[in-house]
Structure 1
Amino acid sequence: METKYELEREKLQLNVTRKFAADINEVWRAWTEAEMLDQWWGPQPWYVITKFMDFSEEGKWLYSMNGPAGEKHWSVMEYLEIKPEKFFSSNHSFCDEDGFVIDKLKTPLWEISFARSGNSTVVKVQITYQREEDLDTILEMGFKEGFAMGHSQLDELLKTI
């Protein structure tokens, strides 16, 4: 399956669509449980370690993205709205190891929806930035390639559930 991207520059949005060959409850768990996120979130050879996760409205997921040379970059996802197996939204920010956001202006809004499609699940991610330069920076960092690699890792994980 292929990760598809649509850039809506005038809205400062990046829309991502991916179909997964798994039931919606399995895909939902993979996006909302730390034990599963740690297995696929982030492009190899990078990997994620969750420090804390409370998947609830006003809850947070604090994790580090760890590189092969010992690099460690912290992020926090602050959950805003959750509709089980249908949708959740969050602010996603770079932060320090205690979860304090480094630059609130660079915090994009993530809106993630899940829909059944036969025996598969379609996930749509809409990421809205506050500034065009932040959208450009994330694209220059290789977000599209890295997110697609993470989705491929998720495909493999879903085969084992």
Structure 2
Amino acid sequence: MTVVSVDKNVEKLSLTVVAEFDADVERVWKIWEDPRQLERWWGPPTWPATFETHEFTTGGKASYYMTGPDGTKAHGWWRFTTINAPDHLEFDDGFADEHGAPDDALGVTHASVKLEPVGDRTRMTISTAFESEDQLQKMSEMGMEEGLREAISQIDTLLAETANA
């Protein structure tokens, strides 16, 4: 399996997921950089993502929605705070209403993504920082950890397809 470890740390208000892939760092970077590739894995298989905006620059924004099995749409937004190609990006992440406007009911999280070579593979570490224990608990109850595991598990297929293309 792609996911190597998941660590939810209530004291540090963080969730860290580590995964490894049979591809080099530059190739794994492209799954973040290209919105069409991002759509192939961001969100669990039963809640695929559609990115409406993806300004992949520091200060840029992304807006997306995930569509559930019953057609329900869950909207979200990102604001890229750091982009250091090809191995580090950070973004603020929040929920949005159906028009893409930020919905502050669940607050904002901050994600940090680091890519590093491990032999001929790439280790991806996604760390999410939460504003409070309450926010971490609510996101956990919504299935964030399971959703990330399922989403990341789709990356191997995407990488294999492009490697064989």
TM superposition score category, shorter chain reference: over 0.9
The number of aligned residues is 161
Q: Give the aligned partner of residue 85 of structure 1.
A: 86
Aligned CA distance change for structure 1 residues 127 and 41 (closer, same or farther; 3 Å): same
* Rounded Cα–Cα distance in structure 2 between residues aligned with 1:101 and 1:112: 22
Deviation at 1:96, TM superposition (A): 2.1
Q: TM-score, normalised by structure 2?
A: 0.92
Q: Give the aligned partner of residue 41 of structure 1.
A: 42
Q: Give the aligned partner of residue 11 of structure 1.
A: 12
* Rounded Cα–Cα distance in structure 1 between residues aligned with 2:48 and 2:106: 26
1:108 aligns with 2:109: yes
Identity over the aligned pairs, expressed in percent? Answer: 30
Aligned CA distance change for structure 1 residues 60 and 6 (closer, same or farther; 3 Å): same
* Rounded Cα–Cα distance in structure 1 between residues aligned with 2:60 and 2:68: 26
Structure 1 consecutive aligned stretches of length 4 or more whose deviation exceeds 6 Å: none
Q: CA RMSD in A?
A: 1.3
* Rounded Cα–Cα distance in structure 2 between residues aligned with 1:119 and 1:104: 42
Question: What runs of 5+ residues in structure 2 fail to find an aligned partner?
Answer: none
Deviations 1:2-33 (A, max 9, x none): 42111221111111111111111111010221
Structure 2: which amino acid aligns with 1:11? K
* Rounded Cα–Cα distance in structure 2 between residues aligned with 1:36 and 1:68: 21
Q: Give the aligned partner of residue 58 of structure 1.
A: 59
Question: What runs of 5+ residues in structure 1 fail to find an aligned partner?
Answer: none
Assess if the C-alpha contact under 8 Å between 1:105 and 1:130 holds in 2.
no
SS of the aligned residue for 2:11 comes to: helix
* Rounded Cα–Cα distance in structure 2 between residues aligned with 1:111 and 1:99: 22
The correspondence of residues 112-123 of structure 1 with structure 2, limited to 5 A, is: 112-123=113-124
Q: TM-score, normalised by structure 1?
A: 0.95
* Rounded Cα–Cα distance in structure 2 between residues aligned with 1:25 and 1:5: 24
* Rounded Cα–Cα distance in structure 2 between residues aligned with 1:35 and 1:97: 21
SS of the aligned residue for 2:70 comes to: coil
